[in-house]
Structure 1
């Protein structure tokens, strides 16, 4: 089970006229005054000319919400700092018409957004600071706050080398995107068991196809990487062909999590050559009755998990958002319907580490057993035993359970 990822880049010869220096449009590079309008003017002018490079020379910049468009590259000089204002007036409610004709309404305009475009790049050794500390104090959970990078219905996306810091809410949030490469980015938010950095998922991938994540380094207040899938207009939109590799996760609810939104289905996902250091759980697949969907053909291999605060590897179709719910045993059989989740054909190979709770924890539903799960050379040290309930054909280091 290996995900094959293809990314088609649109190549063109860059001339001086294709480079749009934001300071030439009035942006202040000292960070002393907002330059939202200047940045957006540069983006709009590049888009009017069928695309180009929107360039940030060395310096510091202060901005509100900006919108990216097709064939735009945000290119940051080395060590640029782009700070976002924390005034809610900069991020008013937003209504967008999506490609299928439906409208979506967001309570806040994202800090950086793109809807229904193609060929977008954000690159450079730059710090993008969302000033989330003010938002977390002002609007603690369950409040919704602005997303940092919200990119929906985009084809051909590249995020490279940037650091995203202190997002008000989700850091990188992708939905219905195809042909995505995310390489060498860093995400930094406080762990929410130390300081309040709530709902700051690192990278969310929802109903996307052909995604390659490599060399990322994430420490955050929710899942480091989360994969989901949805139903739209009664059509399942799956997440398929995802490769996550060569990455390091620190604080977070899960190193790599699948679900709990599984309605559209997820398949052909590979996670390899990663280190999880201090996350709550290492690898977590979660769903529940009412979510539905099929999760299958998932491969995890060559992973080290150190100082995990809860279970090492967890798979559950009884997830309700709480640890108490995850460990509930009072489940009775119900008829299978389109809202029943199914999980099968998962492979774990060459995984080592330690966890505070169960090294392997798998709980299915009476009507939907979790089945065909293989563990080969998996060694996770723990005071607790392996726990299995409502499972079929679980093979752990050669032994069938």
Structure 2
């Protein structure tokens, strides 16, 4: 037994002595082995890029960042490479714009072609690329801007503002679990990518976190820090993300008339931002098809809660949005717009004819919504078609008492689309709807925090509209619950008043016709209906009214 003790002791010493010489798992490239310092002061760009290049040349694997703060300029991600940031590791962006070379690309960009733009992590036409881990990528965008501008109220040029992630033309992309913060521009952009998964990331790039400050762009220098931009991508899954951004939160775009965003799901995300929470647009050259957005929360947002728009010729169809909660939205809670701004991206070429149809929005709740109201509007030559709004519970701030029923709402066919484009308050406190065809509003419940004299719904220059189960708050000085203006083939059924009102329905415009009311409860109305002209009475038929 005594003879065995020295032997056992020898093997223990041998294990201790050789522990530091253990081989790393195959397929892992540690950036410390290629010269990284990880001290947050020494530039580690070359060391990280060397590890990526060797990993790619070997056929793929994992480039591993751990136990350090790695300062770097532009990193070029390549096919079959996973960039992995261990928990506690931080990848720091350089303060110098010169450390982010301009990227010339075959893909169009926001302003010009070919694109010259900057990025912290860049890839083009790569396959099977992944960026993941529980670490952090810090773009330090505030420091880059401070080097280039002296006027704190001037928005810095795109020329000097690198994105944190910019991937183009890539296939089989995964971005998982990371924290991405402090971008100098759009935080992450994916353009013309296929099979893209973004799951469980945290984005924190909001310059002005005080949504109650109306002067958001001057409170701190505004950098257009969108949280997540998907441009002309297909087969996209965005899930389980938390996004706090200085501009739009999650945004789908199109720069190419012959491309588009297709087969996209967005689910289980939490968004708070300085502009629109979840948005299709503004850049809309191509197509948007087969998009599902569900189970998300949008709150403390300076712009729109949910926005869908085609303004540069895009065709938008088969979009389903459901199970969303909205809170403290400073512009329109829901904004749907078709117009003809017709901006072109990249080289000039033909502009498509816009289409916006087959939209379902259901099971949406919202409180502390702007008194502005919601708008769903097209153009006379390009009406919205087949829009279903169902099971909506909205509480608006209200408080608009200066009501001018005859005031005209400008078309603004080529204006930049935004909830306030028609003025600080829409004609309806709930929904202003114009130039739509074959659309339904079902089980819409509306109320306000402060007395508001506007109607709940205004339907203007529309055809084949159905309103069912409307229950909306009014006050005695509200002229009508619903106003129709040049509306044809309208059915209003199973709706009721909850408080006194001037009239349940008013009808304006010589083109109003074929209005049918069925089984509505009108007991709180001083008069059931009012008409701009006596001849318009012939446009209305009534069945089963309950007084």
Same fold by TM (over 0.5)?
yes
SS where residue 310 of structure 1 aligns? coil
- The whole-number CA distance in structure 2 between the counterparts of 1:385 and 1:247 is 26
Larger Rg: 2
Structure 1 residues 1-400: aligned runs within 5 Å = 16-96=25-105, 105-137=114-146, 138=148, 140-141=154-155, 143-144=157-158, 145-191=161-207, 193=216, 194-231=219-256, 236-279=258-301, 280-288=303-311, 291-318=312-339, 339-354=352-367, 355-382=369-396, 383=398, 384-397=429-442, 399-400=466-467
SS where residue 357 of structure 1 aligns? coil
Partner deviation per Cα, 1:12-48 (whole Å, 9 max, x = no partner): xxx8231000001000122221110000000000011
Deviation of residue 308 (structure 1)?
0.4
Change (3 A) 1:341 1:141: farther
After the TM superposition, list the runs of 4 or more consecutive aligned residues in structure 1 that deviate by more than 4 angstroms.
Answer: none
- The whole-number CA distance in structure 1 between the counterparts of 2:341 and 2:104 is 30
Partner deviation per Cα, 1:206-245 (whole Å, 9 max, x = no partner): 11110000011111111111111232xxx61121110000
RMSD: 2.2
- The whole-number CA distance in structure 2 between the counterparts of 1:189 and 1:163 is 10
SS where residue 45 of structure 1 aligns? helix
SS where residue 378 of structure 1 aligns? strand
SS where residue 26 of structure 2 aligns? helix
The structure with higher relative contact order (CA 8 Å, sep 6+) is: 1
Is the 2:40–2:68 contact (alpha carbons within 8 Å) kept by the matching residues of 1?
A: yes
Give the TM-score normalised by structure 1: 0.86
For 1:6, the equivalent position in structure 2 comes to none
SS where residue 254 of structure 1 aligns? coil
Deviation of residue 180 (structure 1)?
0.6
Partner deviation per Cα, 1:113-136 (whole Å, 9 max, x = no partner): 000000001111111111111234
Give the TM-score normalised by structure 2: 0.64
SS where residue 16 of structure 1 aligns? coil
- The whole-number CA distance in structure 2 between the counterparts of 1:96 and 1:341 is 27
Is the 2:66–2:88 contact (alpha carbons within 8 Å) kept by the matching residues of 1?
A: no
Deviation of residue 202 (structure 1)?
1.1
Deviation of residue 110 (structure 1)?
1.0
Structure 2's unaligned 5+ residue stretches are: 1-23, 209-215, 343-349, 399-428, 444-465, 468-489, 491-547
Is the 2:313–2:355 contact (alpha carbons within 8 Å) kept by the matching residues of 1?
A: yes
Residues matched between the structures, number = 364
SS where residue 366 of structure 1 aligns? coil
- The whole-number CA distance in structure 1 between the counterparts of 2:47 and 2:284 is 41
SS where residue 53 of structure 1 aligns? strand
Deviation of residue 109 (structure 1)?
3.1
Deviation of residue 146 (structure 1)?
1.4
More moved, 193-202 vs 62-71: 193-202
